[in-house]
Amino acid sequence: MRAFVEENTEVTSSGSLTPEIRLRLLTPRCKFWWERADLWPHGDPYWAIYWPGGQALSRYLLDNPDVVRGKSVLDLGSGCGATAIAAQMSGASRILANDIDPVAGMAITLNCELNQLSPFPILTKNILSVEQDQWDLVVLGDMLYDEALADSLHGWLKRSTWTFGTQVLIGDPGRSPCSGHSIWHELRKVAEYSLPEATKQQNNGLTSSAVWDFQP
């Protein structure tokens, strides 16, 4: 798995909101950028793209380290692991990266190494279906793209907030197919960022992304 990820991604730190974080991503210089999708031998490589919501969330944590310093942080749907890496760079005391794709787990480990960080724990099962743990902060980016998933997340996040007093920050450009979902009535925008040109081009001209505080 390590060899596969290394061979089919490119190390890059350009074209995103966080040039201080190096990541292995799928870029136009990678074979599978151009190959037919059905030739990819694993699940869809969502982890290999640095999505706009994750970029905004990672930038926000790097610019506002007090949000995470000394706190326990769960990065839900971690993908490439950039937001968990930003949390560690900003002084989080405990981190768990969660993504259901085991290839993402390997990519997160490699991305920690790229940034000379000690790997943090990674859980590759659906955390929404296991008993909830206590976290000071839950972060998630670009996950409000499906009504059923948004429903599951909404209920899980409300229970975390009400039971443990957990703070929840969501990175999302605000243009998802679920923009009419009831969770949006409980989100308050705390930061907005103009996206770099490369990210705009990869996201159909999307110009900005934001960080939202969940207040159920």
One-letter amino acid at 111 equals N
In sequence order, the 6+-apart residues with CB closer than 8 A to the CB of 212 are: 169, 170, 171, 172, 174, 187, 188, 189, 190
C-alpha span between 154 and 148 (Å, rounded): 10
Alpha helices in 93-211 (DSSP H): 102-114, 147-164, 197-202
Confidence band for 184, pLDDT divided at 50, 70 and 90: very high
Q: Taking phi first (over 0 means left), then psi (-120 to 50 degrees means alpha), and beta for anything else, what does residue 110 get?
A: alpha
pLDDT attached to residue 168: 98
Closest to 143 in 3D by CA, of 164, 128, 122: 128
Cβ-based neighbour number of residue 106 at 10 Å: 20
C-alpha span between 36 and 40 (Å, rounded): 8
Kindly report the average pLDDT of the chain as a whole number.
91
Which tens digits make up the pLDDT trace of 164-180? 999 999 999 987 777 78
Confidence band for 203, pLDDT divided at 50, 70 and 90: confident
**Cα of 10 vs its chain's centroid, Å:** 18
C-alpha span between 82 and 56 (Å, rounded): 11
Please report, for the domain that includes residue 107, its CATH number.
3.40.50.150
pLDDT attached to residue 42: 75
Evaluate whether 45 touches 38 at the Cβ level (below 8 Å).
no
Q: 2 pLDDT exceeds 90? A: no
Question: Count of domains in the chain?
Answer: 1
Domain that holds residue 145: 1-214
Length of the chain: 216
Q: 65 pLDDT exceeds 80? A: yes
pLDDT attached to residue 83: 98
For residue 131, what are the β-bridge partners?
none
Closest to 209 in 3D by CA, of 195, 188, 190: 195
pTM: 0.93
Inter-axis angle of helices 82-89 and 102-114, nearest 10: 40
Read off the tokens for 42. 């694993």
Task: Give the phi and the psi of residue 205 in degrees, each rounded to 5.
Answer: 85, 5
Which tens digits make up the pLDDT trace of 86-132? 999 999 999 999 999 999 999 999 999 999 999 899 999 999 998 88
Read off the tokens for 46. 């969502």
Confidence band for 38, pLDDT divided at 50, 70 and 90: low
